[in-house]
Structure 1
Amino acid sequence: MSITKFCFSILFLLFINANYSFAAAINVKNNETSQYSLVHIGLVLDLDSPMGSMVDLSINMALSDFYVEHPNYRTRLHLRTKDAEGLLNTNIAVLELMKQGEVHGVLGPQGPTEDKFVAELGGKVHVPVISFTARSSTLPSAQNRYFLRTTPDDSYQAQALAAICQGYEWPQVVILYENTDYGYQFLSHLNKAFQEVEIGIAYMGAFSISSDDNQILKELNKLKEKQTRVFLVHMNSSLGYRLFVLAKKAGMMTEGYAWIITDYLSNFLNSMDFVARDSMEGVLGIRPYVSWSEKLDRFQERWQRNMVVKKSAGSIKDFNVYALWVYDTVCSLAIAAEKIGPVNSSLLYVNTGNNVKDNTNLKISAYGPKLLSELSNTKFRGLSGDFLLINGQLKPSAFEIFNVIGTGEKTVGFWTPDRGISRELSSTGKPTYSTSTKNLKNVMWPGDSVMRPKGWVIPATGKLRVGVPVKHGFTEFVNVTIDPITNHTNATGFSIDIFMATLQLLPFPINYEFNYYNDSNDINWSYDGMLHGLPQMFDMVVGDTTIWAPRADYVDFTLPYSEPGVVLVVKNKKPFDMWIFIKPLRWDLWLAIILACILMGIVLRILEHRVRNANEESIRPRKERLRMIYWSPITVLAFPERNMVANSWSIFVLVFWLFMAFILMQSYTANLSAILTVDQLKFAFSEDYCVGYQEGSFMKEFLKEQLHISESRLKSYSSVEDYHDAMSKGSKRGGIDAIFDEIPYMKIFLEKYDSEYKMVGPTYRTDGFGFAFPVRSPLTSYFSKAILAVTQGSNMTSIERRNFGPGYSSQDPLSSTVSQQTSSLTFYDFGGLFIIVGSVTLFALFCSETSVGRKFSALTALYSQMFFGFISSKLLSRKDDREESRHESIQDAGATSSESRDASIFEEPLSGGEEEICEPGQHNESASAEVELTTINEERNS
Structure 2
Amino acid sequence: MSITGLCFRLLPFHIIILFLLFKPEYSFAATKLKNDETSSGQNQHFLVHIGVILDLNSPIGTMTDLCIKMALSDFYSDVGLISCSNDLRTKDAESLLDTNFAVLELLKHEEVHGILGTQVATEDKFLAELGGKVRVPVISFTARSSTLPYSQNRYFIRTTPDDMYQAQALAAIFQEFQWSEVVILYEDTEYGNQFLSHLNKAFQKIDIGIAYMSAITISSQDSRILEELKKLMAKQTRVFLVHMNPTLGYQLFSLAKKAGMMSEGYAWIITDYLSDFLSSKDFVARDSMEGVLGIRPYVSRSKKLDSFQERWKRIMVLKSRTGSVRDINIYGLWLYDTIFSLAISAEKIVPVNSSLLYVNTSKNGTDTTNLKISAFGPRLLNELSHTKFRGLSGEFQLINGQLKPPAFEIFNVIGNGERTVGFWTVDKGISRELSSTGVPTHSSSTKSLKKAMWPGDSVTHPKGWALPATGKLRVGVPVKHGFIEFVNVKIDAAANRTNATGFSIDIFLAALQLLPFPTKYEFYPYNVSENCNSSYDDMLHEIPQAFDIVVGDTTIWAPRADHVDFSLPYSERGIVLVVKNKKPFDTWIFVKPLRWDLWLTIIAACILMGIVLRILEHRVPNTNEESVRPHRERLLTTYWSPIIALAFPERNMVANTWSIIVLVFWLFMAFILMQSYTANLSAILTVDQLNFVLSEEIYVGYQEGSFMKFFLKERLHINESRLKKYSTVEEYHDGMTRGSQRGGIDAIFDEIPYMKIFLKKYDRVMFYQPGSYRTDGFGFAFPIGSPLTAHFSKAILAVTQGPNMTSIEQTNFGPGYSSQDPLPSTISQRTSSLTFYDFGGLFIIVGSVTLFALFCSETLVGRKLTSLTAQYSQKCLCFMSSKFHSTRKDAEEIHASIPDSGATSSEG
TM-score, length of structure 2 as denominator length: 0.72
CA distance in structure 2 between the aligned counterparts of 1:628 and 1:58, rounded to whole angstroms = 123
Match of 2:687 among 672, 681, 685: 681
Structure 1 residues 714 and 247: alpha-carbon distance in aligned structure 2, compared to 1, 3 A threshold: same
CA distance in structure 2 between the aligned counterparts of 1:796 and 1:598, rounded to whole angstroms = 71
CA distance in structure 1 between the aligned counterparts of 2:833 and 2:825, rounded to whole angstroms = 13
Determine if the alignment matches structure 1 residue 151 to structure 2 residue 194.
no
Task: Answer whether contact 2:737 2:744 (CA < 8 A) is retained.
Answer: yes
Per the alignment, residue 55 of structure 1 pairs with: 64
Per the alignment, residue 565 of structure 1 pairs with: 574
Q: Please give the per-residue CA displacement for 1:14-40, whole angstroms capped at 9, x wherever unaligned.
A: xxxxxxxxxx99995999x99548676
Q: Please give the per-residue CA displacement for 1:64-102, whole angstroms capped at 9, x wherever unaligned.
A: 455667899999996544456xxx635435434544784
CA distance in structure 2 between the aligned counterparts of 1:259 and 1:733, rounded to whole angstroms = 68
Q: Please give the per-residue CA displacement for 1:795-830, whole angstroms capped at 9, x wherever unaligned.
A: 545555565566865444444565878663233432
Code of the aligned partner of 1:445: A
Code of the aligned partner of 2:322: A
Code of the aligned partner of 2:407: F
Per the alignment, residue 404 of structure 1 pairs with: 412
Per the alignment, residue 453 of structure 2 pairs with: 446
Q: Please give the per-residue CA displacement for 1:31-70, whole angstroms capped at 9, x wherever unaligned.
A: 9x99548676543256652x44333222223334556678
Task: Answer whether contact 1:403 1:443 (CA < 8 A) is retained.
Answer: no
SS of the counterpart of 1:264?
helix
Code of the aligned partner of 2:453: P
CA distance in structure 1 between the aligned counterparts of 2:280 and 2:334, rounded to whole angstroms = 18
The Cα of 1:764 is off from its aligned counterpart by 1.5
Which has the larger displacement, 841-850 or 496-505? Answer: 496-505
Code of the aligned partner of 1:835: I
Structure 1 residues 849 and 691: alpha-carbon distance in aligned structure 2, compared to 1, 3 A threshold: closer
Which has the larger displacement, 597-606 or 106-115? Answer: 597-606
Determine if the alignment matches structure 1 residue 319 to structure 2 residue 328.
yes
Determine if the alignment matches structure 1 residue 458 to structure 2 residue 459.
no
CA distance in structure 1 between the aligned counterparts of 2:445 and 2:856, rounded to whole angstroms = 97
SS of the counterpart of 1:378?
helix
Per the alignment, residue 921 of structure 1 pairs with: none
| Percent sequence identity over aligned pairs | 54
Counting only pairs closer than 5 Å after superposition, residues 398-547 of structure 1 correspond to structure 2 as 398-404=406-412, 407=417, 409-410=419-420, 412-416=422-426, 420-421=429-430, 440-446=447-453, 453-459=462-468, 461-471=470-480, 474-482=483-491, 488-517=497-526, 523-547=532-556
Per the alignment, residue 366 of structure 1 pairs with: 372
CA distance in structure 2 between the aligned counterparts of 1:208 and 1:646, rounded to whole angstroms = 105
The Cα of 1:772 is off from its aligned counterpart by 0.8
Which has the larger displacement, 831-840 or 304-313? Answer: 304-313
Per the alignment, residue 789 of structure 2 pairs with: 780
CA distance in structure 1 between the aligned counterparts of 2:444 and 2:208, rounded to whole angstroms = 16
Per the alignment, residue 678 of structure 2 pairs with: 672
Task: Answer whether contact 1:152 1:394 (CA < 8 A) is retained.
Answer: yes
Structure 1 residues 373 and 739: alpha-carbon distance in aligned structure 2, compared to 1, 3 A threshold: farther
Match of 1:387 among 397, 416, 421: 397
Structure 1 residues 275 and 557: alpha-carbon distance in aligned structure 2, compared to 1, 3 A threshold: same
Determine if the alignment matches structure 1 residue 44 to structure 2 residue 54.
yes
CA distance in structure 2 between the aligned counterparts of 1:704 and 1:83, rounded to whole angstroms = 76
CA distance in structure 2 between the aligned counterparts of 1:561 and 1:244, rounded to whole angstroms = 43
Task: Answer whether contact 2:132 2:154 (CA < 8 A) is retained.
Answer: no
Per the alignment, residue 844 of structure 2 pairs with: 835
In the alignment, structure 1 segments of 5+ residues that lack a partner are 1-23, 877-942
Per the alignment, residue 717 of structure 1 pairs with: 725
Task: Answer whether contact 1:579 1:833 (CA < 8 A) is retained.
Answer: no
TM-score, length of structure 1 as denominator length: 0.70
Task: Answer whether contact 1:608 1:650 (CA < 8 A) is retained.
Answer: no
SS of the counterpart of 1:388?
strand
Counting only pairs closer than 5 Å after superposition, residues 846-857 of structure 1 correspond to structure 2 as 846-857=855-866
Match of 2:623 among 596, 606, 610: 610
Task: Answer whether contact 1:28 1:78 (CA < 8 A) is retained.
Answer: no
Match of 1:285 among 285, 294, 315: 294
Determine if the alignment matches structure 1 residue 268 to structure 2 residue 268.
no
Q: Which has the larger radius of gyration?
A: 1
Residue-pair matches, total: 825
Q: Please give the per-residue CA displacement for 1:468-518, whole angstroms capped at 9, x wherever unaligned.
A: 234465555444455566654344444333323333444443211122345
Task: Answer whether contact 1:690 1:714 (CA < 8 A) is retained.
Answer: yes
The Cα of 1:556 is off from its aligned counterpart by 1.9
SS of the counterpart of 1:545?
coil
Code of the aligned partner of 2:774: R
Task: Answer whether contact 1:172 1:778 (CA < 8 A) is retained.
Answer: yes
Counting only pairs closer than 5 Å after superposition, residues 200-211 of structure 1 correspond to structure 2 as 200-204=209-213
Counting only pairs closer than 5 Å after superposition, residues 292-371 of structure 1 correspond to structure 2 as 311-314=320-323, 316=325, 318-331=327-340, 333=342, 347=358, 353=364, 355-357=365-367, 362-367=368-373, 371=377
Structure 1 residues 803 and 197: alpha-carbon distance in aligned structure 2, compared to 1, 3 A threshold: same
Counting only pairs closer than 5 Å after superposition, residues 849-888 of structure 1 correspond to structure 2 as 849-862=858-871
Structure 1 residues 514 and 646: alpha-carbon distance in aligned structure 2, compared to 1, 3 A threshold: closer
Task: Answer whether contact 2:48 2:86 (CA < 8 A) is retained.
Answer: yes
Which has the larger displacement, 515-524 or 491-500? Answer: 515-524
In the alignment, structure 2 segments of 5+ residues that lack a partner are 1-26, 35-42, 886-908
CA distance in structure 1 between the aligned counterparts of 2:798 and 2:29, rounded to whole angstroms = 75
Task: Answer whether contact 1:131 1:149 (CA < 8 A) is retained.
Answer: yes
RMSD (Å) for aligned C-alpha atoms:
5.8
Per the alignment, residue 230 of structure 1 pairs with: 239
Task: Answer whether contact 1:414 1:424 (CA < 8 A) is retained.
Answer: no
Code of the aligned partner of 2:239: V
The Cα of 1:841 is off from its aligned counterpart by 0.8
CA distance in structure 1 between the aligned counterparts of 2:89 and 2:665, rounded to whole angstroms = 109
Determine if the alignment matches structure 1 residue 186 to structure 2 residue 199.
no
The Cα of 1:771 is off from its aligned counterpart by 0.1
Code of the aligned partner of 1:440: K
Match of 2:779 among 760, 764, 770: 770
Task: Answer whether contact 1:237 1:264 (CA < 8 A) is retained.
Answer: yes
Structure 1 residues 56 and 718: alpha-carbon distance in aligned structure 2, compared to 1, 3 A threshold: farther
Code of the aligned partner of 2:371: S
